[in-house]
Amino acid sequence: MTFMKSVIGAAGALALTAAAALAEPALIFDLGGKFDKSFNEAAFRGAKRWSDETGNSFLEIELQSEAQREQALRRFAEAGANPVITMGFAMADPLTSVAPDYPDTKFVVIDVSWLDVPNIRQVAFAEHEGSYLVGMLAAMASKTGTVGFIGGMDVPLIRHFGCGYAQGAKAVNPDIKIVANMTGTTPAAWNDPVKGSELTKAQISQGADVIYAAAGGTGVGVLQTAADEGILSIGVDSNQNHLHPGKVLTSMLKRVDVAVYDAMKAGENVETGVFTLGLAENGVGYALDENNEALITDEMKAAVEEARQKIIDGEIKVVSYYENDSCPVLSF
Amino acid sequence: MDRMPQWADVVLIPLISLILAAILSALVILGIGEDPVAAVRMMVNGAVGSTYGWGYTLYYATNFMFTGLAVAVAFHARLFNIGGEGQAMLGGLGVALVCLHVPWPHWSVALVAAAISAAAFGAAWAAIPAWLQARRGSHIVITTIMFNYIAAAVLNYMLVTALRPRGSMDPATARFPEAVHLPTFQQIFSSAGQPLFRGAPANISFFVAVFACIAVWALIWRTRLGYEIRAYGHSETGARYAGISPFRITMIAMLISGGLAGMMAINNVMGEAERLVLNATEGAGFIGIAVALMGRSHPFGVFLAAILFGFLYQGGAELALWTNIPRELIVVIQALVILFTGALDNMVRMPLERLFQAIGRKRRDAGEGAPKPGPRSAQHEPEPEP
């Protein structure tokens, strides 16, 4: 309570003076909210790890409206926060107009790689590579020859996930059938576990026995229903194997937490530029722990590890959905 | 029977409602272990303590004025337009198409064209539920709500498949060209030595909103059409007897309503984002309902209520920036204000009315003369509850 009060007091003073150079990092969560069990929460975990290790605090805001994007960027930059870490591709546009106004502040943005501003660290992930690996695992684990994909909101990013997944599955079994559905067309699709559950049932009735959920909070419903119905599922972003031990085949890891942690650790001296974290950088991968070790046989593991190495060496080229705005092996 | 004095209806009831909401909000803030006084001070400082704060407050208020007026006009015809959200989304589409596909020489020309296009798109979106209501009796509340979802799907489809620039990740249009950028308050009011409204999104469309308030006032109380709308709202059978076509009034009122909601897009799409994003309206259509209720469907009331809600939005943003109050609780605080001013209006009104009646009786009994019937023009009539 007293701590909270001092925080308010300090923040109030900060808001008024807005000039004190506190080299505190700031973290801007996107509209999905801090505890979305997925993307934003991973960022929070990374930030929390940093703050637990160093004992320092960080500023944070969960955005509520579009207009707040630019506002939060400016306010944090003016308050001397450095670096200002932002989540998601929707921050790309506000950053292009705000970042040049604060050349001494470093900005970090996750899931963006196409901006041309010197003081931004842009971190993108090669989700298609990680999805390719879990797609291989899905195809190898499937007995029916049909695997499923459930995306969240129908945006290019999620098609990007699905496309890598389909390529991986086809690499194992060229005849495999891939059932793909999107949860919705509005941001609500990121957090609709009931619809996720319905889609899972629909895909099971079409023969799918492994389903990959790339759908934020909606995926919780996918994993639950898959476990209830006795089929396998694949989690996303964070390691979700523990949610239903022995029922989740694996999780496609996207190390947002590491990206945020690294940025906070580097502090004001964080390196700017474009960084793509793929398999080689351990930015993406598949989760293997005690909850799913019984599901992944040695052959499966060997095959995936081989593919992983080949992708890193450039022998296997996983086509990105972004290249042509289309997927060679899957139509959405 | 005595009526409440005019000033009590217009000033006292909203004020008491606000105070009640503030007290409850303070309890909520106390409950999560924060200091309500500091929180309120932060909200006030952040929202109205600087030109920067005003810039955001007025930006939000501009949105709410348009949607509030939209709901108010429909209220006068006793139509409950809950579709402001969808109409504003389609308005955004209208603005984006006009701004992206026509090479405008100057922003002023573009503003007029964009406003017309936004209004046309919004009105077109309202026209279908209106027609269904007028001709088929499909309840307008249900149809307008459903049209919000359809609008979201249409917008999503347009952005993802047609308007998104090639290779872009974000389901949003390209930035509008430089020529159609509306002047912001910063550009209008800042002098060389003194930057005002720094970085704030308030722009020239605020004045368009104020003009819309005046225009709606003139329409409702100074034109024959406005009279017909009000007559129809008060009594459909009476209006029909007087030769007013229910079909025509339903359609016209909803077209105006949809057009006003659509025009919100010149503020949030053209003025602020300068591109069309997926959830550009972010609930302003629904806030408009609360604004119209609180403003008693009078344009001036809508103007004030919109500024209050702008204050709540911007104050809430400041709280989110500098405190650990979770955003859900900020929504709770905003919701409490809506609840008290909109939904629980009668809770304050009825005891107050009784109080004034009691006072009136006492005066009569004391022989201070019979109460004169106050000047009661139609505009002072309290709105029928929808």
Cα torsion A258, A264, A267, A273 to 10°: value is 50
**What confidence score (pLDDT) does residue B169 get?**
67
Are A302 and A162 in a shared domain? yes
Question: With a CB-CB cutoff of 8 Å, which residues 234-263 of chain B face chain A?
Answer: none
Tell whether B18 is covered by a domain: no
Task: Give me the mean pLDDT over the A95-115 stretch.
Answer: 91
Higher model confidence: residue B11 or residue A147?
A: A147
Tell whether B74 is covered by a domain: yes
Tell whether A329 is covered by a domain: no
CB contact under 8 A, B201 and A67: yes
CB contact under 8 A, B326 and A61: no
Are A165 and A311 in a shared domain? yes
Q: What pLDDT band is residue B375 in, cutting at 50, 70 and 90?
A: very low
Sheet holding A284-286, edge to edge: A177-184, A146-153, A210-214, A232-237, A248-254, A284-286
Are A189 and A320 in a shared domain? yes
Domain count, chain B: 1
Domain that holds residue B219: 57-311
B156: exposed, middle or buried (Cβ count in 10 Å: 0-12, 13-18, 19+)? buried
Domain count, chain A: 2
Strand pairing partners for A180?
A: A149
Q: What is the pLDDT of residues A68-86, one digit of tens each?
A: 899 999 999 988 999 999 9
**What confidence score (pLDDT) does residue B376 get?**
45
Q: What pLDDT band is residue B324 in, cutting at 50, 70 and 90?
A: confident
Q: Determine the length of chain A.
A: 332
Residues of A whose CB is below 8 A from B56? 67, 71
Task: Please list, in sequence order, all residues whose beta carbon lies within 8 angstroms of the beta carbon of residue B285, skipping any fewer than 6 positions away.
Answer: B67, B82, B83, B84, B85, B86, B87, B88, B148, B261, B264
Please name the member of A1, A157, A186 whose beta carbon is closest to the beta carbon of B169: A157
Whether the CB of B153 is below 8 Å from some CB of chain A: the reply is yes
Tell whether A17 is covered by a domain: yes
Residue A67 has pLDDT above 70, yes or no: yes
Are A234 and A313 in a shared domain? yes
**What confidence score (pLDDT) does residue B167 get?**
65
Short-list A206, A296, A201, CA closest to A248: A296
- Residue A145 vs residues A168, A178, A330, B301: alpha-carbon distances, Å: 14, 9, 16, 64
CB contact under 8 A, A14 and B42: no
Residue B153 has pLDDT above 60, yes or no: yes
Tell whether A7 is covered by a domain: no
Are A177 and A237 in a shared domain? yes
Task: Find out whether B303 and B213 touch, Cβ atoms under 8 Å.
Answer: yes
Tell whether A317 is covered by a domain: yes
State the amino acid at position B66 in one-letter form.
Answer: F
Short-list A257, A179, A262, A259, CA closest to A213: A179
Tell whether A286 is covered by a domain: no
Q: What pLDDT band is residue B380 in, cutting at 50, 70 and 90?
A: very low
Are A169 and A315 in a shared domain? yes
Residue B162 has pLDDT above 90, yes or no: no
Residues of B whose CB is below 8 A from A33? 327
CB contact under 8 A, B279 and A5: no
- Residue B157: helix, strand or coil by DSSP? helix
Whole-angstrom Cα distance, residue A311 to residue A318?
Answer: 7
Tell me the DSSP string of B237-293: HHHHHTT--HHHHHHHHHHHHHHHHHHTHIIIIIIIISS--TTSSTTHHHHHHHHHH
Q: What pLDDT band is residue B356 in, cutting at 50, 70 and 90?
A: confident
Are A26 and A102 in a shared domain? yes
Tell whether A5 is covered by a domain: no
Tell whether A72 is covered by a domain: yes
Residue B373 has pLDDT above 60, yes or no: no
Tell whether A178 is covered by a domain: yes
Task: Give the count of beta carbons closer than 10 Å to the beta carbon of residue A29.
Answer: 25
Structure token digits, residue B266: 């010149």
Whole-angstrom Cα distance, residue A219 to residue B299?
Answer: 46
Higher model confidence: residue B336 or residue B343?
A: B336
Q: What is the CATH number of the domain that holds B217?
A: 1.10.3470
Are A148 and A117 in a shared domain? no
- Residue A269 vs residues A53, A73, A115, B9, B368: alpha-carbon distances, Å: 18, 18, 20, 60, 80
Share of chain A above pLDDT 90, in %: 68
Task: Give the count of beta carbons closer than 10 Å to the beta carbon of residue B15.
Answer: 12
Question: With a CB-CB cutoff of 8 Å, which residues 273-302 of chain B face chain A?
Answer: 273, 275, 277-280, 282
Are A58 and A110 in a shared domain? yes
Please tell me whether the interface predicted TM-score (ipTM) of this complex is above 0.90.
no
Q: What is the CATH number of the domain that holds A174?
A: 3.40.50.2300
CB contact under 8 A, B273 and A66: yes
Residue B210 has pLDDT above 80, yes or no: yes
Mean per-residue pLDDT of chain A: 88
Task: Please list, in sequence order, all residues whose beta carbon lies within 8 angstroms of the beta carbon of residue A201, skipping any fewer than 6 positions away.
Answer: A225, A229
Are A238 and A187 in a shared domain? yes
Tell whether B133 is covered by a domain: yes
State the amino acid at position B327 in one-letter form.
Answer: R
Q: What is the pLDDT of residues A151-176, one digit of tens each?
A: 998 888 899 999 999 999 999 999 99
Residues of A whose CB is below 8 A from B39? 8
Candidates B158, B282, B321, B332, partner chain A, best to mutate (most A CBs within 10 A): B321
| CB pairs A-B closer than 8 Å | 123
Whole-angstrom Cα distance, residue A282 to residue B277?
Answer: 33
B275 to chain A: closest CA residue: A93
- Residue B102 vs residues A58, A105, B107: alpha-carbon distances, Å: 46, 37, 12
Structure token digits, residue A266: 């580097």
Please name the member of A7, A112, A156 whose beta carbon is closest to the beta carbon of B323: A7
Q: What is the pLDDT of residues B24-36, one digit of tens each?
A: 988 988 988 888 8
Task: Find out whether B330 and B320 touch, Cβ atoms under 8 Å.
Answer: yes
Residue A18 has pLDDT above 70, yes or no: no
Tell whether B83 is covered by a domain: yes
Nearest 5°: the CA angle A202, A222, A291 is 130
Task: Give me the mean pLDDT over the A9-13 stretch.
Answer: 45
Tell whether B147 is covered by a domain: yes
Chain B: nearest CA to A138, how far in angstroms? 27
How much is the pTM? 0.81
Domain that holds residue A211: 127-254+297-324
Tell whether B281 is covered by a domain: yes
Tell whether B269 is covered by a domain: yes
Tell whether B210 is covered by a domain: yes
